[in-house]
Structure 1
Amino acid sequence: MHGPATSGWLLVVLCAVTGAYCLVWMPRCSGTARAATGGEALMGFGMAAMAVPAAVFTPPPWHWVVYAAVFGAAALRATWPVRDCGRHAHHLVGCLAMVYMAAAMASGGGHGTHAGGGVPLLTGALFLYFTVYVLRSGTRLLSLAPSGGGTVPVPVSPVPRTAGPSLVPACRVSMAIAMLAMLLTL
């Protein structure tokens, strides 16, 4: 994406750490939670790669096609859980946003240029979606935080965790914030 190198590196670190966290937790999950965590890891690493500043690495012109293909396939994969239960709609929107950004960057001159860009109405709609998602999900996360410096009691269960790591909602919020930053530079 274009923009200052410092913000690009911050996005790379945020997305790569989020992707790595999800990848580490993926074996501890099962079923749909495992697939969702794997999808979040893919999104994190893909966003990290897309955010590398152009001054450091100028990829070949065809690399946007690879991004679009990978995230297009991830979007197709995300449609099955959406069809079944609708819980993974956010992941589907995120994958489609990545395809859109890759297509906009391919048509706009690529990495590090300000030519072209996306369709303003679609960019604005995605920006609005991710803003609402961050505010709504961030508010939920804040409501779970302990008040008065205490700790949140964690129930002890002999059953292994299958819903995924407790930080996955925070990872999704951080990825949505990174998506907002990437959409701003489009």
Structure 2
Amino acid sequence: MHGPAVSGWLLMALCALTGAYCLLRTRSETGEGRRTARAEALMGFGMAAMAVPAAVVTPPVWGWVVYAVLFGAASLRALWFSRHSRHHLHHLVGSSAMVYMALAMAPGGGGAHDGHAGHGGAATAGGIPLLTGLLLAYYAVYVLRSGARLIPVTPTVAGGGRTAGSGWAARLELTLACRLTMGIAMFAMLLTL
């Protein structure tokens, strides 16, 4: 019984810390880098809110609608900015996955929160299996790619187009580690659908 709750709290704390770091990064970034950091902070905090164990804190019914609307707007924003940076396409996938998870976890949506981890109907548990599988495959590849990029750290950020600054908030390896962390967290959240 304590396993899922503990892992949920750990996932929530990790996502919240990642979101906080990305929010701090907005102070040292400019232009496209700042937009990217804001989008990543939103994802981190949103994932933290969705990762709170349902057995401990049951989200209100309207909360899932708020998540869907918020991340739907973030998806549109990412689509708009994807003409400037390819990395925003990843944000588009992430925001759309958050909308999908919010709808799947909403009461009546057939998700893990509705059926309390598998006690719901087998036909609706986890949303659409094909879509969940595609998102899991995307995040598996993203995590492997991000992890590989962490090994040989260079002084520029892919997608941001800037050089690493001297402050701790502008450290490239921390930015890449945050992206890796959020990718792993998204993969874990999709597994629980």
Alpha-carbon contact 1:37-1:164 (below 8 Å) kept: no
- CA offsets, 1:19-53, max 9 Å, x none? 01111121111101101101111100000000001
Instruction: Give, in angstroms, the shift of residue 71 of structure 1.
Output: 0.5
Structure 1 partner of 2:96 = 96
Q: How does 1:1-186 map to 2 (within 5 A)?
A: 4-106=4-106, 107-108=109-110, 111=113, 113=116, 114=118, 115=120, 116-144=125-153, 164-166=170-172, 167-186=174-193
Q: Once superposed, which parts of structure 1, at least 4 consecutive aligned residues long, lie more than 4 Å away?
A: none
RMSD: 2.2
Compared with structure 1, are the counterparts of its residues 44 and 85 closer, same or farther at alpha carbon in structure 2 (3 Å cutoff)?
closer
Counterpart residue identity of residue 67, structure 1: Y
How far apart in 2 are the matches of 1:133 and 1:98? 16
Compared with structure 1, are the counterparts of its residues 48 and 170 closer, same or farther at alpha carbon in structure 2 (3 Å cutoff)?
same
Instruction: Give, in angstroms, the shift of residue 136 of structure 1.
Output: 1.1
Compared with structure 1, are the counterparts of its residues 160 and 140 closer, same or farther at alpha carbon in structure 2 (3 Å cutoff)?
closer
How far apart in 1 are the matches of 2:18 and 2:41? 7
Question: What stretches of structure 2 of length at least 5 have no aligned partner?
Answer: 155-162
Compared with structure 1, are the counterparts of its residues 142 and 160 closer, same or farther at alpha carbon in structure 2 (3 Å cutoff)?
closer
- CA offsets, 1:118-150, max 9 Å, x none? 1000000000000000001101112339xxxxx
Structure 2 partner of 1:151 = none
Instruction: Determine what percentage of the aligned residue pairs are the same residue.
Output: 61
Instruction: Give, in angstroms, the shift of residue 87 of structure 1.
Output: 2.9
Q: Which moved more, 1:104-113 or 1:53-62?
A: 104-113
TM-score by length of 2: 0.81
Aligned residues: 171
Question: What stretches of structure 1 of length at least 5 have no aligned partner?
Answer: 146-156
Q: Comparing both chains, which one has the higher relative contact order based on Cα–Cα distances under 8 Å and sequence gaps of 6 or more? A: 1
How far apart in 2 are the matches of 1:164 and 1:39? 16
Structure 2 partner of 1:149 = none
- CA offsets, 1:27-82, max 9 Å, x none? 11110110110111110000000000112211211211100000000110111221
